[in-house]
């Protein structure tokens, strides 16, 4: 299993653990389940007894996490909740119904995070900002100096450009949600390292799960790699829309890159027009 799958799986496991589900079983094909049931019954034991010996709550968690792929008109949406039929087969009591996790709960859980080596050098954790029910989420790389100072994402020069781009598609910054793949500033604004992304991205995935946006816009290659695991250069991928869990992801250049390469602003504008068209088609 590659690192991206591992970190996505870890995020889902953590999500289910927060719901109070303590054990996870891989969903088996019907034929194998039937075979196991008949073997157990041949031993004179009832199948349900055999599957619930621990007495704990159990859930069926689909292990397969979809490979990123260019979105088709009617995309296959991966199932992330246990199917009721499978639950009844394992005789597990239903999971307690509760509202989905809120951003406040996730932020509380993050707390004064010391989970990676970025903690000692940060001023403020930059959790994220915007509408908790936004249809559109922007994900950048990590906080810079201004963000670290204020505890808010995209507030420096790159942030001003992002604001202009958001306005260019007739939206307001308050209507979207903005965050980064790591929540603490990497020293000298370097790219976040693998262990830092691994420590921080489960919180990002939980934020996405809480917001359930229609579209995520990855700003820059690090966000693209974290969400989609794509190793190709961003130049070849930008402007395309991919499936990610139950939502879609559009890849665009990071505004900081545009500030260094102003001729590419036209490209960023084109990608924002795609965002506008996508959201317009899904009111």
- Does position 199 interact with ligand SF4 (CB under 6 A)? The reply is yes
Of the candidate residues 4, 27, 183, 238, the single one contacting ligand SF4 (CB under 6 A): 183
Which is closer to ligand SF4, CB of 81 or CB of 114? 114
Residues from 56 through 115 that contact ligand SF4 (CB under 6 A): 110, 113-115
3-state secondary structure (DSSP) of residue 196: helix
- What is the rounded distance in angstroms from the CA atom of residue 160 to the CA atom of residue 255? 9
CA distance 154 to 207: 17
Strand order of the sheet with strand 136-140?
129-130, 177-180, 136-140, 215-219, 247-252, 241-244
Binding-site member from 196, 221, 252, 268 for ligand SF4 (CB under 6 A): 196
CA angle 271, 272, 276 (to 5 degrees): 120
Binding mask 112-151 for ligand SF4 (x = CB under 6 A): -xxxx-xx-----x--------------------------
CB of 107 to ligand SF4, least distance (A): 10
Give yes or no for a contact between 250 and 218, defined as CB atoms under 8 angstroms apart. Answer: yes
Of 196 and 243, which has the nearer Cβ to ligand SF4?
196
Strands 177-180 and 129-130 turn out to be antiparallel
The nearest distance, CB 130 to ligand SF4, in angstroms, is 18
Q: Is 249 in the site for ligand SF4 (CB under 6 A)?
A: no
Distance CA(29)–CA(51), nearest Å, equals 16
Judged by CB under 6 A, does residue 10 bind ligand SF4?
no
Q: Which spans of this chain sit near ligand SF4 (rule: CB under 6 A)?
A: 110, 113-116, 118-119, 125, 182-184, 196, 199-200
């Amino acid at each position: 299993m590659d690192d991206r799958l591992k970190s996505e799986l870890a995020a889902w496991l953590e999500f289910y653990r927060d719901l109070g589900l303590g054990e996870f079983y891989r969903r088996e094909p019907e034929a194998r389940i039937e075979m196991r049931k008949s073997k157990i019954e041949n031993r004179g034991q009832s199948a349900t007894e055999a599957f619930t010996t621990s007495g704990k709550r159990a859930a069926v968690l689909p292990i397969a996490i979809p490979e990123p792929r260019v979105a088709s008109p009617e995309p296959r949406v991966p199932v992330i909740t246990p199917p009721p039929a499978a639950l009844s087969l394992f005789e597990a009591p239903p999971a307690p119904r509760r509202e989905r996790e809120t951003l406040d709960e996730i932020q509380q859980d993050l707390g004064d995070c010391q989970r990676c080596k970025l903690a000692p050098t940060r001023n403020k954790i930059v959790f994220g900002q915007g509408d908790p029910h936004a249809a559109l989420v922007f994900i950048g790389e990590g906080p810079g100096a201004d963000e670290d100072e204020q505890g808010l994402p995209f507030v420096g020069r790159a942030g001003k450009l992002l604001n202009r781009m958001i306005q260019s598609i007739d939206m307001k910054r308050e209507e979207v949600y903005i965050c980064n793949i790591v929540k603490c500033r990497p020293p000298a604004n370097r790219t976040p390292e693998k262990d830092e992304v691994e420590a921080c991205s489960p919180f990002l995935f939980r934020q996405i799960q809480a917001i359930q946006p229609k579209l995520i816009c990855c700003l820059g290659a690090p966000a693209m790699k974290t969400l989609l695991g794509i190793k190709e250069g961003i130049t070849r991928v930008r402007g395309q829309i991919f499936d990610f869990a139950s939502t879609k992801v559009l890849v665009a250049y990071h505004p900081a890159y545009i500030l260094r390469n102003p001729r590419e602003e036209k490209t960023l504008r084109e990608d924002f027009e795609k965002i506008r068209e996508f959201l317009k088609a899904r009111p």
